[in-house]
Amino acid sequence: MEVKFVKREELKEKPKGELGFGKYFTDYMFVLDYEEGKGFYDARIVPYGDLVVDPAMMVLHYAQETFEGMKAYRTKDDKILLFRPEMNAKRMQKSNERLCMPEIPVNDFIQAINDLVKVEEDWVPKGEGTSLYIRPFMFATEAGVGVHPSRTYKFIVICCPVGSYYPEGVNPVKIYVEDEFVRATRGGTGFAKCGGNYAGSIAAQEKAAKLGYTQVLWLDGVHRRYVEEVGTMNVMFVIDNEVYTAPIDGTVLPGVTRDSIIHILKDWGIKVNEVALDINDLMQAAREGRLQEGFGTGTAAVISPIGELNYKGEIVTINNFKTGELTKRLYDTLTGIQWGNLEDKYNWTYEVK
Ligand code: COI
């Protein structure tokens, strides 16, 4: 793919101090257009800036949109690494297929990320636990209010230097088990990374926030019983020295971090059960002192320990609201590989060149 470069006149000032998450955007963005019959065309890296859109643009009405979340990491010797970018490329293809959107070839997706991050190299922060968050997204641009697949799309990649996703940092978060709203059911879009899934989750998140909780834990949409995922991450629990996480069967996001952690755990000889875990069994395990640890996994959230669950008003504390030993070991191993401080024995990192 040939990528045109349009230089901006003045570069932005880089943020100083706490980066937070998703507040500052870099100088450039990658843009690729699509038109039915013509395919993808006009790949370009242009100054980050406003888009001019038609008010009838279909994504604004029917939410035909998908996105990805990735990070670029600066190593001690100033190399820039991506983490398993082909998994994001393939997942976006699956999301696009579900939303009736054209699929970007894996190589073009990776080249778009590589080329943009290369241009924005100076924006990849140096501080401990910081990285450049990369947000590829694609949306329907055709003007029209009839419901049908759009004939035109834009694929854009933007980047922002980030610290931790949660204000708690790598400290335990409090999770509210949602039993009123549902996120996904089989046959829906639960496995796809599309904006609509997140739009539908905000009311529950707001409800939880008002009660003092950082995120919600979603239960399955049919029985409202089986543990699925947390708002911005997959979730794992350690019970009787075995790990439990929801299976990938259509309602849960197939997380890149989730997959990596399962690999590492199996490599360490720890049993991972990808099964539907009943919330009642989870709460019972907590009451009996058998629930040893809980943590979320995600690109933005990394490995985020869970310190408290609230289900129907019953509150249980996990590991005395402290980061568990396994959670910490997983965090150190994963981030060690991502930042190039540990041997990449699984061949997961990709150097930006
Ligand atoms: C990510 O972890 O990259 C995500 O996309 C979650 C996001 C909604 C913050």
pLDDT, one tens digit for every residue, the chain (353 residues): 999 999 999 999 999 989 999 999 999 999 999 999 999 999 999 999 999 999 999 999 999 999 999 999 999 999 999 999 999 999 999 999 999 999 999 999 999 999 999 999 999 999 889 999 999 999 999 999 999 999 999 999 999 999 988 777 778 999 999 999 999 999 999 999 999 999 999 999 999 999 999 999 999 999 999 999 998 999 999 999 999 999 999 999 999 999 999 999 999 999 999 999 999 999 999 999 999 999 999 999 999 999 999 999 999 999 999 999 999 999 999 999 999 999 999 999 999 99
Ligand 1 closest atom vs CA 232: 6
**Cβ-count burial of 46 within 10 angstroms (0-12 exposed, 13-18 middle, 19+ buried)?**
middle
**Cβ-count burial of 122 within 10 angstroms (0-12 exposed, 13-18 middle, 19+ buried)?**
exposed
Nearest CA to ligand 1 atom 3: 69
319 CB within 6 A, ligand 1? no
Residue whose C-alpha is closest to residue 109's, from 74, 155, 158:
155
Residue range(s) occupied by CATH 3.30.470.10 in the chain:
4-162
Residue range(s) occupied by CATH 3.20.10.10 in the chain:
173-338
From the candidate CATH numbers 3.90.1150.10, 1.20.140.10, 3.30.470.10, 3.30.70.1230, the one assigned to the domain spanning 4-162: 3.30.470.10
Token pair, residue 344, equals: 């990449």
Q: Which residues pair with residue 76 across a beta bridge?
A: none
Residue whose C-alpha is closest to residue 140's, from 20, 56, 258:
56
**Ligand 1 mean position to 338 CA, how many Å?**
17
CATH topology of domain 173-338: D-amino Acid Aminotransferase; Chain A, domain 2 (3.20.10)
CA distance 297 to 231: 11
**Ligand 1 mean position to 290 CA, how many Å?**
30
Using only C-alpha atoms, what is the Rg of the chain? 20
- Which pTM was predicted? 0.96
